[in-house]
Each structure stands twice: as C-alpha cells, then as structure tokens.
Amino acid sequence: MDLKMILVVVFFFLICPVNIIGLWWAVGSPLVLDPTRICRKTRRLRGKQAEICQNEPEVVREVAKGAQIGTVECQFQFRHRRWNCSTSRRSFGKVLMQDIRETAFLNAITAAGVTFAVTQACSAGHLLQCTCDRSIKGISTDGDWEWGGCGDNIDFGYKKSREFMDARDKKGSDVKTLILLHNNEAGRIAVKNYMRTECKCHGLSGSCTLKTCWRKLPIFRDVGDRLKEKFDGAAKVMAGNDGLSIIPVGATIKPPAKDDLIYSEDSPDFCEPNKKVGSLGTHGRECNHTSQGVGGCELLCCSRGYEKLQQNITENCRCRFIWCCEVVCDTCAVLKTIFRCL
C-alpha cells in the first residue's frame, strides 16, 4: 500500500466522516483523537510506518491532526479556485491518485502539517519521546542576546513526519514515488527553514539588560502562503533516461530546487464534473463579479456565465460592550447580493 492510499484512507475514514457530521473543529471528538484508526485501516503497512503505528500511537494521533491542519489550510488557499481542495469522496482521492500540481500541493501541505503538529506536540508535552528543545546554547552572533528558554523541537517533528510519510517499499522507486518524496520534503522544508526567533527581556521592569531567545514554529498560514507560491511556480518533470531520476520538461528550464513543487501530468481544467479526474465542476460556485483573477466570475465559471442572487442572511449587529466583561449583539437580517456560476 503506498502513501497515497494511506492518505486517502486517513482522509476518508478519519477526517471525512468527522467533516460530514459537522464536527470538523471538534478537537475533542473521539474520531479525530482515536489514535488507532489510521493504523487499523492500514494494517498491511510495513517497516517504519508499522513500527510507529505499533509503538507510538500518540505520534499517530499527531499525524492525523497534522493532516487535518494541512487540509484546512489547503481549503483556505484554494477557496476561490476551481479546484477548492474539497474533501468530497468524489474528488479528494482521485486528485491524490494523479500526479498533477494539485497532488503536489496536497502532499506538501500534508507533510508540512504533520511536521508542524508533531513539533507542537513536543512543546506542549503531549509526547513522551520528545520535549521542547534546549539544545541551542550560547550568545547570538551579533552578541545582543543569548539562546535560552525552550524552543520548538523542529528536528523531531521533521524526523517523524519523514519517517511516517516517506515510509514505503524500496521497490517502488518509480517517477511518481520520486515526485511524491520530493514534494513531501518541500512541505517539511517550508516549515523547518522558516523557524522564527522569539525573545524575552529580563531585567528590572523589562529593561532588557538580558535578552533570551528561542526557536519558534512559523505561523501555519505563512507556510500555506509559501507553498501556494510554489504551487503557482511548480515545475513539470519527467523520468530521466536511467528511470531513476527526474528531469525538468523543457531543455532550458533549470532543475527544480529542494523547496520547489514538482508534477508530471497537466491538470484538468476542473470546469465540469468528471469522476475520472475528481473534478466537481464549478456550477453553482459563488464568484466575484468585479475580479478579473482566479476567483472572478469569468475564470471561475469557465465563461459559462453567472447569475445574480439576493440572499437574506442574519448576522451579528449593534454589538456593545457591557461592563464588565461581556459583548452583547443583536441579530440583523441583511440582504446580500451574491453571484453564482451557471
């Protein structure tokens, strides 16, 4: 069973049901937190993955959480696009089975999410195998501050994400596998290479006579933004002559860097529903009639045209602060004009 199958299983059996019953955000729900579920559904796993499933169920729980963080970010980044990262049964697995740009983004953001979640879990003390990181010591290069405190343990998160996501049969070293491994790594790098430095001042009334700093995870939205840029500039590749390497398509194109996303098949246009490629089509999607960009009605609706609708929605209004400490709002009905693809 290869990684794509596992991801499909993770999403369909672990996340989709949760999504469908409207508990997407319910972190305490037993479905999300049931650590054995991924491993139960993928019993034929071998090697490192089986080991983690067997011996580190709490890591598996973070892997599941990371996959979810990745999906939520994917849906944010693609909310205005024809392919909107829908986890629908008709779409998600099909997209993962291909080797298009969208597959590259999904694999990268998932690997990034897992790296992020496991690292966060170390700092939160949720894992026995790791703690936050006190290994960096000494004075900063500019001499202004000292390493101290307890930083986010990115090395552990990176390692576990790699062990779990990249685990596979050695035999399967085809082009698709090379691409998958490359994109997984690009996702992990989008977290690891962008660690921030957070500092705290010590001294009388915050005078900052001593400043200590530690490493902190990037904001995941920034990770998503970065990978979305890589999606836009993704490089098309094909198998090299030896069949063991990948080379860029087009003689003049420079080889992709480690942090670039790569793919080997062109994306469908996602305009019409198409079971084979996992396209849901864009009929009925809300579009922006003033935008010329991807979320604009022209592009999103694939030039089919769109309709104008009035929607009666209720929202909070006349909110006021009541001393102390409450905010009270009324609900108002507002008529909103929206545009929808035909």
The binding site for ligand NAG (CB under 6 A) comprises: 75, 79, 84, 86, 280-282, 285, 288, 290-291, 293, 312, 314, 333, 335
- Provide, rounded to whole angstroms, the least separation between the CB of residue 116 and ligand NAG: 22
Under 8 Å between Cβ of 133 and 153? yes
Q: Of the two residues 121 and 280, which places its CB atom closer to ligand NAG in the complex? A: 280
- Provide, rounded to whole angstroms, the least separation between the CB of residue 11 and ligand NAG: 15
Per DSSP, the residues of 319-334 read EEEETTTEEEEEEEEE
Would you state the structure tokens that stand for residue 329, as one six-digit string?
Answer: 């709002």
| Residue type for position 265 | E
Angle CA 196–120–164, to nearest 5: 110
- Provide, rounded to whole angstroms, the least separation between the CB of residue 63 and ligand NAG: 24
Give CA–CA dist 143/146, Å, rounded.
8
- Provide, rounded to whole angstroms, the least separation between the CB of residue 33 and ligand NAG: 24
Give CA–CA dist 157/320, Å, rounded.
44
Query: Token match 């892997």: residue?
Result: 63
Closest CA to 155 of 104, 63, 217: 217
- Provide, rounded to whole angstroms, the least separation between the CB of residue 72 and ligand NAG: 10
Q: Of the two residues 81 and 215, which places its CB atom closer to ligand NAG in the complex? A: 81
- Provide, rounded to whole angstroms, the least separation between the CB of residue 26 and ligand NAG: 18
Closest CA to 221 of 67, 116, 101: 116
Q: Of the two residues 123 and 282, which places its CB atom closer to ligand NAG in the complex? A: 282
Give CA–CA dist 99/91, Å, rounded.
14
- Provide, rounded to whole angstroms, the least separation between the CB of residue 328 and ligand NAG: 19
| Residue type for position 169 | D
Q: Of the two residues 211 and 283, which places its CB atom closer to ligand NAG in the complex? A: 283
- Coil, helix or strand for 10? helix
Signed CA dihedral, 29, 31, 35, 36: sign only: positive
- Provide, rounded to whole angstroms, the least separation between the CB of residue 3 and ligand NAG: 25
Give CA–CA dist 247/235, Å, rounded.
10
Per DSSP, the residues of 69-102 read HHHHHHHHHTTTSSS-----TTTHHHHHHS-SHH
Q: Of the two residues 38 and 287, which places its CB atom closer to ligand NAG in the complex? A: 287
Give CA–CA dist 331/223, Å, rounded.
36
Q: Of the two residues 173 and 292, which places its CB atom closer to ligand NAG in the complex? A: 292
Query: Token match 């059996």: residue?
Result: 13
Q: Of the two residues 84 and 264, which places its CB atom closer to ligand NAG in the complex? A: 84
Q: Of the two residues 84 and 177, which places its CB atom closer to ligand NAG in the complex? A: 84
Q: Of the two residues 95 and 186, which places its CB atom closer to ligand NAG in the complex? A: 95
- Provide, rounded to whole angstroms, the least separation between the CB of residue 300 and ligand NAG: 9
Q: Quick check: bond before 325 cis, omega within 30? A: yes
